[in-house]
Amino acid sequence: MDFKILVSTFVAIFLSEFADKTQVATLSLSAETKSPLSVFLGASCALILTSLIAVTLGAQLPRIIPIHYIKILAGLVFILLGLFMVISK
Q: Mind listing the pLDDT tens digit for each residue in 29-80?
A: 999 999 999 999 999 999 999 999 999 999 999 999 999 999 999 999 999 9
Q: Flag whether 45 is in a domain.
A: yes
Whole-model pTM above 0.75?
Answer: no
Q: Flag whether 18 is in a domain.
A: yes
Residue 60 belongs to domain spanning: 3-64
Q: Flag whether 75 is in a domain.
A: no
Q: Flag whether 87 is in a domain.
A: no
Query: Is residue 17 a contact partner of residue 23, using CB atoms and an 8 Å limit?
Result: yes
Q: Flag whether 19 is in a domain.
A: yes
Q: Flag whether 35 is in a domain.
A: yes
Count of domains observed in the chain = 1
Query: Is residue 8 a contact partner of residue 14, using CB atoms and an 8 Å limit?
Result: no
Separation between Cα atoms, residue 74 and residue 66, nearest integer Å = 13
